[in-house]
Amino acid sequence: MQSFFHQCIKSLSLWSPRRVVQILFCLIVVYIGLEFYLFISPMEMGIMPDISRPPGVEAFLPIGALVSLKHFIFTGTINRVHPSGLIIFLIACMTAMIVKKGFCSWICPFGLLSEYLAKLHGLMFKNNLHLPSWLDYILRSIKYLLAGFFIWSIFFKMPIGSIEQFIQSPYNRFADVKMLHFFTQVSQTALIVIFALLALSIFIKYFWCRYLCPYGAVLGIISFMSLGKIRRDPEHCTECGKCEQHCPGLINIRQKKKIQSSECTACLTCVQKCPEKKAIGFFLGSGKMKMGHVSVAVVLILLFLVGIFMAKLSGNWQNNTSKAAYLRYVLQSNMFWNGQGPIDPDKREKMIQIMKNIQAQKAKSMFPPD
């Protein structure tokens, strides 16, 4: 047993600060997802859950966050339907103004998955497969077109009255339930798309992040205003090319003194792989304050902790949708019979059990135990 713990500690010591942060946030996301599942699952049988809904689940509702952002800009208030979704989005945008697209390479679980798929690519192919530069350029425009479409549709096409109606609509209010059902009741079409994206991410490294993710596109545009940037000192650079060879963003680092690219995720891989300590680094402002892995990790964690703390303090973290409203919606969305034709015996038994559970809960509320 002691040898097992020793090996675990030794393995952890080999992880970089970035990997530790990635694993930490990935575990938090998994925990939130599991907690939300345990919140909704009893409702599908007509049972009111004992636990509360985790607000962090709204991180999976980026479109709702954009709608909430427009509502906030025009009204000066954070709507109470999905407040934490907007808070998390604003925190992510704040990270892009300090540490480039650090959210993508330090926080996002899809970024972590993409990295492991890229490692699988390295095991399968002796030489990395790269698309022609012209095709890479065209495909990279897709994520910006997607982001532009959502921004145009919400900020320029939807009037503020429609924004308010959308926010209060059942579709938006219970979008988190729909998101959960996407994973728990995944369709054949969705499975095909998911496996296709996984396959493409193995054959073409970082396929989703580089070509399709509109969230990353928005952060990439904001990152042009980032205080922190990768800077290269030509006097100490030996032109070995290791920085470019290992850069996930395929950035031409040796041609520049300051990296402005929207593909830079501040992963600091170039800094880590560079054999010359003074040749390249991540600096704030004019280049006098250097940030290492630990500094970037601290900045990102503090931004999330402070942002969430302020949201809780101001009452803009938990939504105002009651458990009873969630229960009604889940039961209505899970109706199994339209009143026409015979009903499946298994579905009939489940409907009967749901009704029994509802009656039992009503009786419990009317005659509470002493």
Higher pLDDT, 4 or 364: 364
Amino acid at 52: S
- Where does the pLDDT of residue 255 fall: very low under 50, low under 70, confident under 90, or very high at 90 and above? confident
Gap between the Cα atoms of 129 and 250, Å rounded: 12
Contacts of 105 (CB under 8 A, 6+ apart): 18, 111, 248, 265, 266, 267
What's the rounded mean pLDDT across residues 235-246?
A: 92
pLDDT at 338 over 80: no
In angstroms, rounded to a whole number, what is the distance separating the alpha carbons of residues 161 and 166?
9
State the pLDDT at residue 9.
Answer: 47
Question: Looking at the structure, do residues 78 and 140 belong to the same domain, yes or no?
Answer: yes
Residues 276, 169 share a domain: no
Q: What is the pLDDT of residues 288-317, one digit of tens each?
A: 899 999 999 999 999 999 999 999 999 999
Q: How much is the pLDDT for 66?
A: 96
Residue 108 has pLDDT above 70, yes or no: yes
Residue predicted with more confidence, 313 or 350? 313
Is the residue at 98 inside a domain? yes
Q: Is residue 160 part of a domain?
A: yes
pLDDT band at 345 (very low <50, low <70, confident <90, very high): low
Residue 103, domain member (yes or no): yes
* pLDDT tens figures, 215-234: 999 999 999 999 999 999 99
Instruction: Put the strands of the sheet holding 289-291 in their side by side order.
Output: 228-232, 280-284, 289-291
Q: Are residues 106 and 34 in the same domain?
A: no
pTM of the shown model: 0.88
Q: Say if residue 262's pLDDT is above 50.
A: yes
Most distant CA pair in the chain, distance: 81
| Residues 87 and 143 reside in one and the same domain | yes
Given pLDDT bands bounded at 50, 70 and 90, which one contains residue 243? very high
Span of 21-25, 236-240, 256-260, 342-346 with lowest mean pLDDT: 342-346
Q: Which tokens belong to 182? A: 């996407």
Helix spans in 214-267 (H): 214-222, 242-246
The answer to whether residues 248 and 333 belong to one domain is no
136-175 pLDDT, tens digit per residue, is 999 999 999 999 999 999 999 999 999 999 999 999 999 9
Q: Determine the residue type at 171.
A: Y
pLDDT band at 126, cuts 50/70/90? confident
280 located within any domain: yes
> Is residue 96 within 8 Å of residue 219, measured between CB atoms?
yes
Nearest CA among 1, 82, 20, 47 for reference residue 317:
82
Residues 65 and 189 in one domain: yes
Confirm whether 15 is domain-assigned: no
Give the total number of structural domains in the chain: 3
Q: Are residues 81 and 61 in the same domain?
A: yes
Instruction: Give the pLDDT of residue 185.
Output: 87
Task: Give residues with Cβ within 8 angstroms of 335, minimum separation 6.
Answer: none
- Do 47 and 361 contact (CB within 8 A), yes or no? yes
Q: How far is CA 324 from the centre of its chain?
A: 28
| Higher pLDDT, residue 182 or 5 | 182
Report if residue 349 sits inside a domain: yes
pLDDT at 129: 83
Full domain range(s) for residue 176: 57-222+298-313
Which are the contacts of 210, defined by CB distance < 8 A and separation ≥ 6? 139, 140, 143, 249, 263
Say whether both 343 and 307 belong to one domain.
no
Residue 64 has pLDDT above 60, yes or no: yes
CB-side exposure of 143: number of CA atoms within 13 Å?
A: 22
Note the pLDDT of residue 294.
95
Contact between 172 and 166 under an 8 Å Cβ cutoff? The reply is yes
20-34, 305-319, 320-334: which has the minimum mean pLDDT? 320-334
What average pLDDT does range 256-278 have in this prediction?
Answer: 93
Pair 89, 69: CB distance under 8 Å: yes
| Res 11 pLDDT > 50 | no
Co-location of 78 and 123 in the same domain: yes
The confidence score (pLDDT) of residue 34 equals 97
Residues 138, 145: Cα–Cα separation, whole Å: 11
Mean pLDDT of 34-57: 93
User: What does the pLDDT read at residue 314?
Assistant: 95
- Does the residue 368 lie in any domain? no
Centre a 10 Å sphere on the Cβ of residue 316 and count the other Cβ atoms it contains. 19
Q: Which of 7-21, 216-230, 236-250 is least confident?
A: 7-21
- Measured CA to CA, the distance from residue 355 to residue 49 in angstroms comes to 16
Which two three-digit tokens encode residue 22?
A: 């990635």
H or E, element range at 62: helix 62-75
DSSP E strand stretches across the chain: 228-232, 280-284, 289-291
Range of weakest confidence among 52-61, 176-185, 328-337:
328-337
| Distance separating alpha carbons of residues 160 and 291, to the nearest angstrom | 42
How far is 171 from 62, CA to CA, in rounded Å? 14
Query: Domain holding 265: CATH number?
Result: 3.30.70
Residues 40 and 107 in one domain: no
Residues 241 and 206 in one domain: no
Question: Residue 46: its pLDDT value, please?
Answer: 85
Q: Do the domain assignments include residue 7?
A: no
Q: How many angstroms separate the first and last alpha carbons of the chain? A: 48
What pLDDT shows up at residue 344?
57
User: 355 and 252, same structural domain?
Assistant: no
- The pLDDT of 178-200, averaged and rounded, is 93
Q: Is 258 left (phi over 0), alpha (psi -120 to 50) or beta?
A: beta
